[in-house]
Amino acid sequence: MPSPQPREPEPPQARLEFTAAEIGAIAHLYRGEIYRSTVWRTRLDSSTNWAVVTTGIALSATYSNGEASPLPMVLVGLLVTVFLLFEARRYRYFNVWRARARLLETDFYAPMIQGESISPNAAWTALLAKDYRHPSYHITYARAIGRRLRRTYGWIFAIQAIAYYGKLAIHPVPLTAMSEIWDRASIGPIPGTLVVLAGIAFHSSWALFALITNRMEAADRRTRRNLIAMG
Protein backbone atom coordinates (compact mmCIF):
# COMPACT_ATOMS: atom_id res chain seq x y z
CA MET A 1 0.00 0.00 0.00
CA PRO A 2 1.60 3.30 -1.05
CA SER A 3 2.46 5.65 1.75
CA PRO A 4 0.45 8.89 1.79
CA GLN A 5 2.21 11.91 0.33
CA PRO A 6 3.18 14.52 2.92
CA ARG A 7 1.03 17.62 2.69
CA GLU A 8 2.20 21.18 3.05
CA PRO A 9 1.05 22.76 6.31
CA GLU A 10 -1.91 25.01 5.80
CA PRO A 11 -1.29 28.69 6.51
CA PRO A 12 -3.06 29.97 9.61
CA GLN A 13 -6.39 31.55 8.90
CA ALA A 14 -6.62 35.27 9.53
CA ARG A 15 -8.84 35.94 12.51
CA LEU A 16 -11.65 38.39 11.92
CA GLU A 17 -12.15 39.77 15.43
CA PHE A 18 -10.94 39.71 19.01
CA THR A 19 -12.50 37.35 21.53
CA ALA A 20 -14.18 38.68 24.65
CA ALA A 21 -11.23 37.52 26.78
CA GLU A 22 -8.76 39.33 24.52
CA ILE A 23 -10.78 42.54 24.64
CA GLY A 24 -10.78 42.35 28.42
CA ALA A 25 -7.00 41.84 28.44
CA ILE A 26 -6.50 44.84 26.14
CA ALA A 27 -8.71 46.93 28.43
CA HIS A 28 -6.46 46.08 31.40
CA LEU A 29 -3.42 46.76 29.26
CA TYR A 30 -4.77 50.20 28.40
CA ARG A 31 -5.38 50.98 32.07
CA GLY A 32 -1.79 50.02 32.83
CA GLU A 33 -0.40 52.26 30.09
CA ILE A 34 -2.53 55.18 31.27
CA TYR A 35 -1.27 54.66 34.83
CA ARG A 36 2.37 54.61 33.76
CA SER A 37 1.97 57.68 31.55
CA THR A 38 0.29 59.49 34.47
CA VAL A 39 3.19 58.64 36.79
CA TRP A 40 5.74 59.97 34.33
CA ARG A 41 3.58 63.02 33.61
CA THR A 42 3.80 63.79 37.33
CA ARG A 43 7.58 63.50 37.19
CA LEU A 44 7.64 65.97 34.30
CA ASP A 45 5.55 68.41 36.31
CA SER A 46 7.87 68.18 39.30
CA SER A 47 10.95 69.23 37.30
CA THR A 48 8.97 72.04 35.67
CA ASN A 49 7.82 73.24 39.08
CA TRP A 50 11.40 73.33 40.33
CA ALA A 51 12.44 75.37 37.30
CA VAL A 52 9.64 77.86 37.94
CA VAL A 53 10.38 78.06 41.68
CA THR A 54 14.11 78.66 41.20
CA THR A 55 13.39 81.34 38.60
CA GLY A 56 11.04 83.05 41.04
CA ILE A 57 13.66 82.93 43.80
CA ALA A 58 16.24 84.46 41.46
CA LEU A 59 13.79 87.23 40.52
CA SER A 60 13.17 88.01 44.17
CA ALA A 61 16.88 88.11 44.98
CA THR A 62 17.72 90.27 41.97
CA TYR A 63 14.97 92.85 42.50
CA SER A 64 15.06 92.85 46.30
CA ASN A 65 16.94 96.18 46.47
CA GLY A 66 18.81 98.61 44.29
CA GLU A 67 22.24 97.25 45.19
CA ALA A 68 21.32 93.62 44.42
CA SER A 69 23.43 91.99 41.73
CA PRO A 70 21.85 90.56 38.52
CA LEU A 71 24.07 87.50 38.96
CA PRO A 72 21.22 85.28 40.31
CA MET A 73 19.39 85.71 36.98
CA VAL A 74 22.51 84.50 35.17
CA LEU A 75 22.97 81.48 37.40
CA VAL A 76 19.30 80.49 37.27
CA GLY A 77 19.56 80.21 33.49
CA LEU A 78 22.16 77.48 33.94
CA LEU A 79 20.05 75.78 36.61
CA VAL A 80 16.95 75.81 34.41
CA THR A 81 19.03 74.26 31.63
CA VAL A 82 19.85 71.35 33.95
CA PHE A 83 16.16 70.90 34.73
CA LEU A 84 15.40 70.96 31.00
CA LEU A 85 17.90 68.18 30.33
CA PHE A 86 16.47 66.11 33.19
CA GLU A 87 12.93 66.63 31.95
CA ALA A 88 13.78 65.73 28.35
CA ARG A 89 15.10 62.39 29.55
CA ARG A 90 11.93 61.79 31.55
CA TYR A 91 9.84 62.85 28.57
CA ARG A 92 11.32 60.07 26.45
CA TYR A 93 10.03 57.54 28.99
CA PHE A 94 6.66 59.27 29.25
CA ASN A 95 6.34 59.29 25.47
CA VAL A 96 6.63 55.49 25.33
CA TRP A 97 3.59 54.95 27.54
CA ARG A 98 1.67 57.88 26.03
CA ALA A 99 2.18 56.63 22.48
CA ARG A 100 0.99 53.13 23.34
CA ALA A 101 -2.13 54.41 25.07
CA ARG A 102 -2.85 56.79 22.19
CA LEU A 103 -2.50 53.97 19.65
CA LEU A 104 -5.06 51.90 21.56
CA GLU A 105 -7.42 54.88 21.69
CA THR A 106 -7.27 55.69 17.98
CA ASP A 107 -7.14 52.17 16.50
CA PHE A 108 -8.94 50.01 19.04
CA TYR A 109 -11.42 52.00 21.10
CA ALA A 110 -12.44 54.58 18.47
CA PRO A 111 -13.45 51.93 15.86
CA MET A 112 -15.25 49.98 18.60
CA ILE A 113 -17.26 53.05 19.60
CA GLN A 114 -18.20 53.67 15.96
CA GLY A 115 -19.34 50.07 15.53
CA GLU A 116 -16.55 49.12 13.13
CA SER A 117 -14.94 45.71 13.06
CA ILE A 118 -11.61 45.40 14.88
CA SER A 119 -9.30 42.85 13.30
CA PRO A 120 -6.40 41.29 15.22
CA ASN A 121 -4.47 41.31 11.93
CA ALA A 122 -4.46 45.10 11.48
CA ALA A 123 -1.26 47.09 11.05
CA TRP A 124 -1.58 48.70 14.47
CA THR A 125 -1.58 45.35 16.25
CA ALA A 126 1.71 44.41 14.59
CA LEU A 127 3.18 47.78 15.51
CA LEU A 128 2.09 47.52 19.14
CA ALA A 129 3.29 43.91 19.44
CA LYS A 130 6.68 44.89 18.03
CA ASP A 131 6.93 47.74 20.54
CA TYR A 132 6.29 45.33 23.41
CA ARG A 133 8.72 42.72 22.13
CA HIS A 134 11.48 45.20 21.31
CA PRO A 135 10.83 48.32 23.41
CA SER A 136 12.72 51.46 22.49
CA TYR A 137 12.39 55.22 22.68
CA HIS A 138 10.12 56.71 20.04
CA ILE A 139 11.93 60.03 19.74
CA THR A 140 15.53 61.15 20.02
CA TYR A 141 16.92 63.04 22.99
CA ALA A 142 17.33 66.18 20.86
CA ARG A 143 13.68 66.11 19.79
CA ALA A 144 12.59 65.56 23.39
CA ILE A 145 14.57 68.64 24.43
CA GLY A 146 12.99 70.59 21.60
CA ARG A 147 9.46 69.61 22.61
CA ARG A 148 9.93 70.57 26.23
CA LEU A 149 11.67 73.77 25.18
CA ARG A 150 8.86 74.88 22.87
CA ARG A 151 6.04 73.94 25.20
CA THR A 152 7.40 74.98 28.60
CA TYR A 153 11.01 76.00 29.02
CA GLY A 154 11.07 78.53 26.22
CA TRP A 155 8.69 80.68 28.27
CA ILE A 156 10.85 80.29 31.40
CA PHE A 157 13.97 81.30 29.48
CA ALA A 158 12.10 84.26 27.98
CA ILE A 159 11.03 85.49 31.43
CA GLN A 160 14.57 85.05 32.73
CA ALA A 161 16.03 87.05 29.83
CA ILE A 162 13.47 89.86 30.11
CA ALA A 163 14.01 90.07 33.88
CA TYR A 164 17.78 90.15 33.49
CA TYR A 165 17.91 92.86 30.85
CA GLY A 166 15.15 94.74 32.66
CA LYS A 167 17.34 94.74 35.76
CA LEU A 168 20.17 96.26 33.75
CA ALA A 169 17.96 98.84 32.06
CA ILE A 170 15.62 100.20 34.73
CA HIS A 171 16.59 98.93 38.20
CA PRO A 172 17.25 100.70 40.51
CA VAL A 173 17.00 103.71 38.16
CA PRO A 174 16.63 103.90 34.36
CA LEU A 175 19.78 104.13 32.27
CA THR A 176 20.90 107.60 31.30
CA ALA A 177 23.63 106.45 28.90
CA MET A 178 24.14 103.18 27.03
CA SER A 179 27.64 102.83 28.45
CA GLU A 180 26.17 102.29 31.94
CA ILE A 181 24.77 98.92 30.96
CA TRP A 182 28.27 97.45 30.69
CA ASP A 183 29.10 98.54 34.22
CA ARG A 184 25.88 97.08 35.60
CA ALA A 185 26.39 93.79 33.76
CA SER A 186 29.98 93.20 34.81
CA ILE A 187 30.57 90.26 37.15
CA GLY A 188 33.78 90.58 39.11
CA PRO A 189 36.68 90.53 36.65
CA ILE A 190 34.39 89.58 33.73
CA PRO A 191 33.54 92.67 31.68
CA GLY A 192 29.90 93.54 31.15
CA THR A 193 30.25 93.41 27.38
CA LEU A 194 31.23 89.75 27.52
CA VAL A 195 28.43 88.93 29.98
CA VAL A 196 25.72 90.55 27.85
CA LEU A 197 26.98 88.94 24.63
CA ALA A 198 27.15 85.56 26.35
CA GLY A 199 23.53 85.97 27.47
CA ILE A 200 22.43 86.87 23.94
CA ALA A 201 24.29 83.85 22.54
CA PHE A 202 22.79 81.59 25.23
CA HIS A 203 19.17 82.51 24.51
CA SER A 204 19.67 82.72 20.75
CA SER A 205 21.08 79.19 20.72
CA TRP A 206 18.00 77.84 22.53
CA ALA A 207 15.70 79.66 20.10
CA LEU A 208 17.62 78.23 17.14
CA PHE A 209 17.57 74.76 18.68
CA ALA A 210 13.79 74.96 19.16
CA LEU A 211 13.36 76.04 15.54
CA ILE A 212 15.56 73.27 14.14
CA THR A 213 13.87 70.52 16.15
CA ASN A 214 10.46 71.89 15.15
CA ARG A 215 11.49 71.54 11.51
CA MET A 216 12.57 67.97 12.26
CA GLU A 217 9.17 67.24 13.80
CA ALA A 218 7.34 68.71 10.79
CA ALA A 219 9.45 66.69 8.34
CA ASP A 220 8.79 63.50 10.33
CA ARG A 221 5.04 64.15 10.32
CA ARG A 222 5.06 64.65 6.55
CA THR A 223 7.00 61.44 6.06
CA ARG A 224 4.61 59.28 8.07
CA ARG A 225 1.40 61.17 7.30
CA ASN A 226 -0.38 58.13 5.90
CA LEU A 227 1.36 55.58 8.11
CA ILE A 228 0.59 54.19 11.51
CA ALA A 229 3.40 55.29 13.80
CA MET A 230 4.17 55.89 17.43
CA GLY A 231 5.86 58.85 19.09
Who's near 33: CB < 8 A, 6+ residues apart? 97, 100, 101, 104
pLDDT at site 119: 86
Q: Tens digits of per-residue pLDDT, 99-140?
A: 999 999 999 999 999 988 888 888 899 999 999 999 999 999
Q: Is the pLDDT confidence value at 2 over 70?
A: no
Q: Is the pLDDT confidence value at 226 over 70?
A: no
The secondary structure of residue 92, as a DSSP letter, is H
Task: Return d(Cα 11, Cα 226) in angstroms, integer.
Answer: 29
DSSP 151-176: IIIHHHHHHHHHHHHHHHHHSSS--S
Q: For residue 167, give the amino acid letter.
A: K
Q: Tens digits of per-residue pLDDT, 174-221?
A: 888 888 889 889 988 999 999 999 999 999 999 999 999 999 998 888
pLDDT at site 179: 82
- Above pLDDT 70, what percent of the chain? 90
pLDDT at site 230: 63
Residue among 156, 144, 157 nearest 86 (CA): 144
Of 172 and 27, which is predicted with more confidence? 27
pTM (2 decimals)? 0.86
Q: Is the pLDDT confidence value at 6 over 80?
A: no
Mean pLDDT for 16-32 is 92
